[in-house]
């Protein structure tokens, strides 16, 4: 219903207030007009009495008639001893009312008659009288309409300001409520306000953010539920042949088989095992088993595993690091991180290039930078990587960097991605250093 809307709930009481204010204003103006007319009547009587006394003029019918015509009020001379009036033109009922007006120079009202009586030098009283004015009729003057017009204009401005500051923002918030389910930011200007409307707008924004977070987590959980079932089946089918490949490769290395071929078999089996471990991690994350890990030695081992693939793509690798950089890490999980980053870098340079790895000890921990000469990350990739199942390259599954970020986070470190000014991508890892007495384990974030 129209009467139930906020604008009417505010507008109707406000209109009643303005109407009541108009009546109060009229009453105040009528009262002030009455006071002004009383003061004017007293001023007329006192001014003319003073003139008669200075001029020593005797009371007469002619003088009373002249003053009546000039002043616009009835003027009489009253003999206080006999009570007779000059001129004697009053009817008995009027005479009795005027006779009651005291001779003190003050305003008096007797029934419908008002007047002022002042003693003169001759012993008579100068009596100025008239029928009392009806203030409510006299108040309707041009000045009254001007005052009411100003009051109504101010009321209209105040009402507009109140509506603009209260009703319109609430109406805008109500119109934007359906957008709370959309993924785009709400961008409500009312959040800048420091009043209750601002509190409501900020609450809506927080609800929108919480809803989007919950929706993203739900979608992530649904994807991982499917992935978990796939991973369990994949791991069961792959683990056995991987074990057989590794065993035969080790046997071939001790016999007359080409050692390079045997090593190739072992490396490829290790890659399959790493892939299985990665999928197993997505299916059921486990806390890292931390120990002292020489990051430099581990980088060399991982680079050796992927050297053949890098050479096939004409990718050169450089490692610039100290001989020993001890980090607090899970060796197997950290190797998985290095593998994912190196594979991505090699695949980003199909026509060859350079992958440079720098490892340094800094105040914040062990800092490792992987810099390639590929095409770099797109703007969308920079915004969404390492989001699970998002990949900026064709055929990518969007798992490698996501797993790497989760593993580094579980170690208490940080993974950052960026584009190099001269071209290519840069991935920076920060790991906590080994302190010599740290045997605690951190938990991976649950998916």
| Neighbouring residues of 223: CB distance < 8 A, sequence distance ≥ 6 | 388, 389
Mean pLDDT of successive 10-residue segments in the chain (447 residues)? 57 81 83 86 91 89 88 87 75 68 88 89 88 69 80 84 76 82 81 82 87 84 69 62 70 67 67 65 66 92 87 90 87 89 88 92 90 87 67 58 85 90 91 74 40
What is the CATH code of the structural domain delimited by 2-138? 3.30.450
Sign of dihedral through CA atoms 293, 416, 338, 271?
Answer: positive
Residues 380, 420: Cα–Cα separation, whole Å: 16
pTM: 0.44
Residues 72, 92: Cα–Cα separation, whole Å: 22
Q: Give the residues across from 119 on adjacent strands.
A: 125
Q: How far apart, in Å, are the Cα atoms of 396 and each of 213, 236, 391? A: 25, 23, 5
Which pairs with CB-CB distance under 8 Å and at least 24 residues apart come from 242-249? 242/269, 242/272, 242/273, 242/276, 245/269, 245/272, 246/270, 246/273
Residues 319, 296: Cα–Cα separation, whole Å: 9
What is the pLDDT at residue 444?
40
Q: By C-alpha distance, which of 319, 321, 425, 433 is closest to 378?
A: 425
Spatial contact of 348 and 420, defined as CB atoms under 8 Å apart:
no
Q: By C-alpha distance, which of 329, 368, 342 is closest to 271?
A: 342
Residues 403, 169: Cα–Cα separation, whole Å: 45
| Neighbouring residues of 136: CB distance < 8 A, sequence distance ≥ 6 | 26, 30
Residues 332, 289: Cα–Cα separation, whole Å: 9
Q: By C-alpha distance, which of 374, 392, 372, 373 is closest to 382?
A: 392
Tokens 């009020």 label which residue?
73
- The stretches of 313-412 forming alpha helices (DSSP H) are 331-347, 379-384, 400-410
Q: By C-alpha distance, which of 156, 155, 209, 158 is closest to 179?
A: 209
Q: By C-alpha distance, which of 391, 353, 376, 390 is closest to 426?
A: 376
Residues 277, 285: Cα–Cα separation, whole Å: 10
Helix (H) or strand (E) holding 118: strand 113-119
3-state secondary structure of 163: helix
What is the pLDDT at residue 443?
42
Spatial contact of 405 and 344, defined as CB atoms under 8 Å apart:
no
CATH level 2 (architecture), domain 288-447:
2-Layer Sandwich (3.30)
Domain coordinates of the chain in residue numbers?
2-138, 288-447
What is the pLDDT at residue 281?
61
């Amino acid at each position: 219903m129209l009467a139930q809307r906020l604008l009417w709930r505010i507008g109707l009481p406000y209109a009643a207030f303005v109407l009541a204010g108009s009546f109060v204003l009229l009453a105040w103006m009528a009262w002030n007009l009455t006071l002004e007319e009383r003061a004017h009547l007293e001023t007329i009587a006192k001014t003319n009495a003073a003139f008669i006394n200075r001029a020593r003029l005797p009371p007469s019918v002619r003088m009373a008639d002249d003053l009546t015509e000039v002043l616009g009020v009835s003027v009489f001379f009253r003999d206080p001893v006999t009570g007779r009036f000059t001129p004697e033109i009053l009817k008995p009922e009027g005479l009795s009312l005027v006779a009651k007006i005291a001779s003190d120079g003050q305003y008096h009202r007797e029934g419908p008659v008002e007047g002022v009586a002042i003693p003169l030098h001759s012993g008579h009283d100068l009596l100025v009288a008239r029928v009392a004015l009806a203030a409510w009729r006299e108040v309707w003057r041009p000045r009254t309409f001007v005052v009411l017009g100003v009051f109504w204009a101010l009321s209209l401005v105040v009402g507009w300001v109140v509506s603009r500051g209260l009703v319109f923002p609430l109406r805008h918030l109500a119109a934007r409520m359906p957008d709370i389910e959309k993924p785009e930011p709400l961008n409500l200007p009312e959040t800048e306000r420091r009043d209750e409307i601002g509190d409501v707008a900020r609450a809506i924004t927080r609800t929108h953010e919480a809803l989007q977070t919950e929706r993203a987590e739900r979608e992530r959980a649904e994807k991982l539920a499917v992935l978990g079932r796939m991973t369990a089946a994949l791991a069961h089918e792959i683990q056995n042949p991987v074990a057989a490949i590794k065993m035969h490769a080790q046997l071939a290395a001790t016999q007359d088989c080409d050692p390079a071929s045997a090593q190739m078999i072992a490396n490829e089996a290790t890659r399959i095992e790493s892939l299985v471990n990665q999928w197993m991690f997505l299916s059921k994350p486990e806390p890292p088993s931390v120990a002292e890990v020489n990051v430099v030695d581990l980088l060399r081992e991982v680079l050796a595993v992927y050297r053949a693939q890098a050479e096939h793509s004409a990718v050169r690798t450089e490692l610039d690091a100290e001989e020993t950089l001890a980090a607090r890490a899970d060796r197997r999980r950290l190797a998985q991180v290095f593998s994912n980053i190196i594979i991505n870098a090699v695949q980003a340079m199909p026509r060859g290039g350079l992958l440079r790895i720098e490892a340094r000890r800094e105040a914040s921990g062990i800092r490792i930078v992987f810099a390639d000469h590929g095409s770099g990350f797109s703007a969308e990739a920079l915004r969404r990587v390492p989001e699970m199942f998002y990949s900026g390259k064709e055929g990518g599954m969007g798992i490698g960097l996501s797993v790497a970020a989760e593993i580094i986070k579980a170690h208490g470190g940080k993974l950052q991605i960026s584009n190099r000014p001269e071209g290519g991508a840069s991935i920076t890892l920060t790991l906590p250093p080994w302190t010599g007495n740290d045997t605690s384990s951190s938990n991976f974030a649950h998916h």
